């Protein structure tokens, strides 16, 4: 018979055997325990020019996103915040080809410092994770809880995008007649299973709208030689298999926005019409 019991919460800062380095090693062995996705370890105790050592550098293998992680036992404090942001800034400048996110981990992220950290959110990609330890007999279990999530940077709110509305001519200049017409072809597929959608020409992408409201379960970015379609779908083995099996040219999953990115060359939409329709149906259903 299953027994329920209340685990004993303990302080890691006052523990005789558990150290910050031990926790660092545990995260390095399995970064997924942080709840940030299936990340891999790039480096630990990474030397920073004239600024000490970064505890952990993690990376999403499916995108160009890196996480600068700093760990602290006990309460977070000013030096912890400053150190985390400093390391994030150094790494961002050294490796601008990657997207970077600062991650603060502490046993106690107080409401005062949560408020301070929140001031940076929206300007600096920042995640705060509270680390709790519970004793089970002779063993100690760690629980990581995200208490402050990253706010996406830039124009992502669809109300803001209204101010950035453009027109078809704008996209004909950025792309070509051929690549912009590919957006029309995708729209035809969408209206074949869910009528009423129209293209919405924004500054950074061509989106979708229905009944006057944006509904961007798929967006298109026409280029000079191809069009990229981005489908709002959670990454999964099922979708990965569909894309690979049908020979679609995936350009890497964008974990930041939750999009599958697929390159479409001339003739690809007609060639892959059925699988694209299937993916669009899944994306539209997922977006509800």
pLDDT digits (tens, 9 = 90+) for 34-52: 988 888 899 998 988 877 8
pLDDT at 247 over 50: yes
Q: Could you tell me which residue, 139 or 22, shows the higher pLDDT?
A: 22
Q: What is the pLDDT of residues 190-203, one digit of tens each?
A: 999 999 999 999 98
Mean pLDDT, rounded, of the chain: 86
Q: pLDDT by residue (tens digit) across 110-142?
A: 777 777 777 776 678 889 999 988 888 778 888
Query: For the residues 12-26, what does the mean pLDDT come to?
Result: 85
For 60-85, how does the pLDDT look when each residue is reduced to its tens digit (9 = 90+)? 876 778 999 999 988 888 888 888 99
pLDDT value for 121: 64
Cα–Cα distance for residue pair 14/16, rounded to 1 Å: 6
Domains belonging to the chain, first-starting first, are: 8-148 (3.40.1350.10), 158-287 (3.90.1150.200)
Average pLDDT over residues 164-170: 83
The string of pLDDT tens digits covering residues 205-245 is 999 999 988 999 999 999 999 999 999 999 899 999 999 99
Angle at 176 between CA 173 and CA 181, to 5 degrees: 120
Q: Residue 164 — pLDDT band, cuts 50, 70, 90?
A: low
Instruction: Tell me the C-alpha distance between 219 and 231, whole Å.
Output: 7
CA separation, residue 96 to residues 89, 109, 137, 288 (Å): 10, 29, 47, 35
At 155, the pLDDT band (50, 70, 90 cuts) reads very low
Mean pLDDT to the nearest integer, 251-280: 91
The span from the CA of 123 to the CA of 144, in Å, is 24
Please indicate whether residue 100 or residue 61 has the higher confidence score (pLDDT): 100
3-state helix, strand, coil in the chain (%, to 5): 35, 35, 35
Threshold 0.75, pTM exceeds: no
Q: How large a percentage of the chain has pLDDT more than 70?
A: 93
Least Cα distance to 190 among 175, 206, 179 occurs for: 206
Strands 139-148 and 40-48: unpaired
């Amino acid at each position: 018979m299953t027994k329920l019991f209340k685990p004993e919460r303990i302080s890691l800062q006052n523990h005789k055997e558990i150290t910050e380095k031990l926790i660092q090693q545990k995260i390095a062995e399995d970064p997924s325990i942080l709840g940030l996705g299936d990340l891999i370890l790039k480096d630990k105790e990474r030397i920073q020019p004239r600024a000490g050592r970064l505890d952990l550098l993690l990376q999403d293998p499916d995108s160009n996103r890196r996480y600068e992680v700093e760990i602290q036992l006990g309460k977070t404090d000013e030096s912890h915040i400053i150190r985390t942001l400093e390391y994030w800034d150094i790494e961002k400048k050294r490796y601008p080809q990657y997207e970077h996110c600062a991650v603060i981990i502490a046993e106690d992220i107080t409401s005062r410092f949560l408020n301070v950290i929140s001031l940076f959110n929206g300007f600096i990609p920042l995640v705060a994770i509270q680390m709790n330890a519970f004793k089970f007999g002779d063993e100690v279990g760690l629980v990581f809880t995200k208490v402050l999530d990253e706010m996406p940077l830039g124009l992502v709110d669809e109300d803001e995008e209204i101010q950035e509305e453009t027109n078809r001519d704008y996209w004909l200049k950025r792309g070509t007649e051929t690549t912009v017409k590919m957006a029309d072809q995708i729209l035809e597929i969408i209206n074949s299973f869910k009528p009423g959608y129209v293209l919405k020409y924004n500054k950074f992408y061509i989106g979708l709208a229905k009944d006057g409201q944006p509904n961007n379960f798929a967006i298109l970015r026409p280029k000079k030689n191809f069009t990229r379609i981005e489908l709002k779908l959670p990454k999964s083995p099922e979708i990965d298999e569909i894309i690979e099996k049908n020979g679609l040219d995936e350009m890497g999953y964008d974990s930041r926005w939750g999009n599958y990115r697929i390159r479409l060359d001339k003739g690809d939409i007609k060639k892959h019409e059925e699988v694209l329709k299937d993916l669009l149906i899944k994306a539209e259903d997922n977006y509800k």
